Structure 1
């Protein structure tokens, strides 16, 4: 039977063996008082375990292998981190193992000690050809267990992103406004153009833009010029005004524009063209140059939407998608779905991070409340989990599902997932 070590970890952690039949070789009857805590760093697999062998109580670490000889194969005999191992848990005991001082490490062999149908169930689960392993069994799991684990996934997702933001905050020497502007720009690029928007934010300091906060032509010239869209020849009008102004500002502030080729237009709807997003980004800054400070003052959920609605986008973009061709009159405002994406991926995140960083719980709570208020994202992955039985009515849960899929389902880590564990134990 081709077990994996993580499966034996599962059997050990949840005591899915016959405790009455446990025998430690060579000392006799064994009682497990505490299995210990999973240890995911270098060293033994479980730490702070507590066992009784005959009349003696042992406290220390537990190491798990398929075969006891794997101890030697993994070179543990040369590692002092394993000196405090009190029990070696294996599937097959094929070789006695000794500590550096010559004493033999007690061992228990789990072969025949648990219902091996559990392995069959697990094998069937991870080998299923569904979108995710438990797609067909998910409805069998208590919704409280599902939602509890999803809440943990959301917090884990926020904490991972928090680390990235705090690293950038350190780069910007504690400047929250500049850090927020940097990540807001990335969100305006969505998936396709997030990198060039990120590079734009890096090359165009928000504090330089603030010097021109009440001058639309200068703001738009800086944004489009730095993005690389003003290198072409224009026949007068608004584009030529932008180019003339940018040439002056570029010399004045010693700016180096991006290469226009970085921006992606192919297979995109015109409303999502980077030129339109840049026009909206310029307008957002024109209306609210201190957006980070503003979002900390907002109370009503509708006000978060209002921050991105009815922006003063230049009228040129009412009948243009880029600089070289006119089109029918279009709505050049940010759509509701795009606003919600920005709220989910930037606004909620910064409320959470800032609240944690400054120890102001009201911002953390506001982040969770806003995520619970916003509708769930609409994409193929979220839809699969909805069809499998999870009630995904808010962004709180859809964000959690994205993290669940990334960290567990796509890697088939069912043995580490509360939902998968419930299915297997059942």
Structure 2
């Protein structure tokens, strides 16, 4: 890999042991990928805390958060003192909501570790956005901006919808990027790798958030880690719809970018979306394919009695929280069901000010922040059957938590929270 003078100096230890370890990691990473050089980045989203279940014991037995960062962010065999981040860096979701830790079954020692992590990230200058959707809370990269982001649903959103450039990075590469402002120049950072590969021709209207989740789930299964181009769309999708589409496609497949002809910034025409190349395959998506996607995403669901309704994957926008409040108006969550809604901390503050949080609580629900059930492994004790409006969460939660999962509309989920039973279905 070719390094410039500044990069070589970091690798040689000019800026201290932690930066040296970070540059060494990036060089090894880049060479493994076949990257010829590094590229500057001033927008990094990753995780550095220790509230995730697999890190809690390590932090307690190996010397705290510098040790966690050294091992899990820098791949360093020795503990190094971590300096301030060199570039703008944001923290993604955590393993718990400290305000509702007891309800999530989290003990006080773990909350204490969370608070230590907040102080640690503050010392490093990492912004505590604590969300899987940083673009909802002010981190909105511009077209062509080179970023280093984790979180599959966020990666696909900024690549496709915003036209920014990132690969799906990991904890190690983002940790190293925070300290160096560098990331390997490969994959979706390069123009030639951003063209579409598969054409998806729509033969059915795609209007609701559920429709977009099902389309994403089907497309992800079909194209895996390639780049689909959607054509035939009749309506302009809003942020929640694109958020759910990308999250679903990244979960059922490994999609990191897509194009919508006439909608997304690098697809003014079909020819531009494909960079002048012909599609490898044309896939029709109609009513039958939508039905197939619905049945696949609901494959674990058997029992109609619902214990738990989880909304907010990816984290809910203020618009979606408002929608829930409208659906809950004059109603009450059932005595044997719990409703948890997850959002970013900044969005929660807006909901507090608007009175939405109180409306949800008065109905028997809870608005939580910083995490979700899949990331934190948190749900009400004894949960067997979950209702969700997220195809991504329906894909992962049964495997992670051993539960049955129903996927439907937000209205279906609120109805299940009130009645305790699943009556949702696929609209014609």
Common fold: TM-score over 0.5: no
Between 1 and 2, higher relative CO (CA 8 Å, sep ≥ 6) is seen in 2
TM-score where L is the length of structure 1 = 0.23
TM-score where L is the length of structure 2 = 0.23
User: Looking at CA atoms only, which structure, 1 or 2, has the larger radius of gyration?
Assistant: 1
